[in-house]
Amino acid sequence: MTHPMDLIPAPLRVEGPYRRGFVLDRETTLYAAPGTGTTERWLRTTLGAAFALPLRDTADENAAHSIRLRIDDTLAPEAYRLHVLVDEVVEITGGGPAGVFWGAQTLRQLLGPDAYRKAPVRSAPVAGLAAQTIEDAPRFGWRGLLLDVSRHFMPKDDVLRYLDLLAAHKLNVFHFHLTDDQGWRIEIRRHPKLTEVGAWRARTKWGHRASPLWTETPHGGFYTQDDIREIVAYAAERHITVVPEIDLPGHAQAAIAAYPELGNTDVVDTAALTVWDTWGVNPNVLAPTEAVLRFYEGAFEEVLDLFPSTFVHVGGDECPKDQWKASPTAQARIEELGVGDEDGLQSWFIRHFDRWLAARGRRLIGWDEILEGGLAEGAAVSSWRGYAGGIAAAEAGHDVVMCPEQHVYLDHRQAPGEDEPMPIGYVRTLEDVYRFEPVPPGLSPEAAAHILGTQANVWTEVMENRSRVDYQVFPRLAAFAEVAWSALPAPEARDHAGFERRMRTHYRRLEALGVDHRPPAGPHPWQRRPGVLGRPLEGRPPNV
């Protein structure tokens, strides 16, 4: 049994615990009101498996010794109220299906780390709860994690596992970074070479791009359309929205390697390009032609069929303009369109797809570079280079997801010292992430209302497998989840010592889930990567 004060993320209000009120055992039944089916199924497949319990249906909403799932639409959609009553009943009431589901996540935490296993480890697999009431609701509607599967491919089952890890932390957006210079990861049936050619590279830089080391094993993989449907459906059962990212007009070498006509053929021999095998900002960008627009419209048509998300991410970042400056075709295009310069050309690209997506009932979101050259009305911004882009966008009336690299890029190292594997960027400790504030001070109330929420980003250049991703993401994702969900005081007033105390229980949950997290005392020997060059930056990161 877990004390309610060990919950992560921290709930709004807790009353109790008092004397024992509920025992989960073979006699426990499950009452599920209309609209609570996702939670009913989830409880059976998780708690039912962890404790080897049938959790039989009951049609009696007042049945004794039961878990009761209800909806009360006077609550906010993601809010919930969890009552543990002294008469052997647990009631989870949500404002909507998602609220019921988040309440069930809290119930799982209360039942102890054994509730995170896939089969029982005790001879008498029962768990008891004290009578208590928990009332809770999220601070932000967008609580996200970006996972880059382009730099290093993550097999489908590992993606499904990460969706479970998001759900366990009450995160509700999975930003799926599917295309980049180093690999195209989603099947597009009308353009089959995107995966036949673009999903595979012959070798891979091992470490930072300045490292002399290479991994000579070919690397790649992609998700079939049925894989994507499965991932999206699995996420939906957990009240997680999957936001796809198809990068343009930069980060496009894998696509150009598959279809050389997509590149700037008048200044570079695009037919000689291969899927990129190293890291950094790539000069090979899309040509600003009508043919390229039609090609990507065709790709997006298939993407929209697979992803019901209102938001579709188009990247828009790190697009070097050198090829456009040298290209007679691009220069003629600038003059023909009257967009002034190469920044205007990038804005034209983004505006085109903003209109195209809006006409189909979707909304474009892109990295903060899409502000350059003017932002299309209705577009939203992922603010990654710091707060500044998000502040400018919000003050101009655009919706914003705050994900500044100085605070919540989880590929950045989490401690100083020689043992951190392939150290990238500034040190961002568990405490640093816990003190991250998504809404910068000084933002007007009107602009602050445009902050949809926040997101942690996981770029996988130096994360070659699931274990490495686990190490970089955890435990910091637990701190981020609390920032995104809980009503915390100002950063300097946050009770980090109390959070660390609660983490002692949470580490046991992560270990039961098989998460290869970074231990508080530093990496295990097998988590280190001695001799592999990273790019550590010293000092405090700039607050920009």
Rounded to 5 degrees, φ, ψ at 132 are -170, 165
Q: Which of 372, 371, 368, 374 is nearest to 405 (CA)?
A: 368
How many CB atoms are closer than 10 A to CB 164? 16
Rounded to the nearest 10 degrees, the angle between the axes of helix 156-168 and helix 466-473 is 20
Other Cβ atoms less than 10 A from the Cβ of 145: the count is 28
Cβ proximity of 256 and 286 under 8 Å = yes
CA–CA gap between residue 196 and residue 190 (Å, rounded)? 12
Angle of CA points 133, 167, 5, to nearest 5°: 35
Phi first, then psi: give them for residue 475, nearest 5 degrees.
-90, 0
CA dist., res. 161 & res. 153, Å (int): 14
318 is catalytic: yes
One of 78, 180, 187, 245 is an active-site residue; which one? 180
11, 81, 107, 240, 482 from 94: Cα distances, Å: 14, 6, 13, 16, 19
In the three-class reduction of DSSP (H, G, I as helix; E, B as strand; rest coil), residue 239 is classed as: coil
The Cα 201–Cα 187 span in angstroms is 16
List, in sequence order, every beta strand (DSSP E) within 131-193: 132-136, 142-148, 173-177, 179-180, 183-184
- The DSSP letter of residue 409 is B
Active site residue 342: no
Residue for token pair 């040298």: 326
Strand positions, DSSP E, 186-305: 200-201, 204-205, 214-215, 219-220, 241-248
Do the strands 56-57 and 29-32 form a parallel or antiparallel pair, or are they unpaired? Answer: parallel
Q: Quick check: is 175 catalytic? A: no
Name residues whose C-beta falls within 8 Å of residue 495's C-beta, 6 or more positions apart in sequence. none
- Catalytic, out of 251, 352, 398, 506: 251
The DSSP string of 31-57 is: EE-TT-HHHHHHHHHHHHHHHT---EE
Could you identify the residue written with the tokens 């700037």?
A: 264
* Cα–Cα distance measured from residue 281 to residue 367, given in angstroms and rounded to the nearest whole number: 15
Candidates 25, 114, 318, 431; catalytic one: 318
Q: Which residue is listed with tokens 């997006």?
A: 300
Catalytic residue list: 180, 251, 318
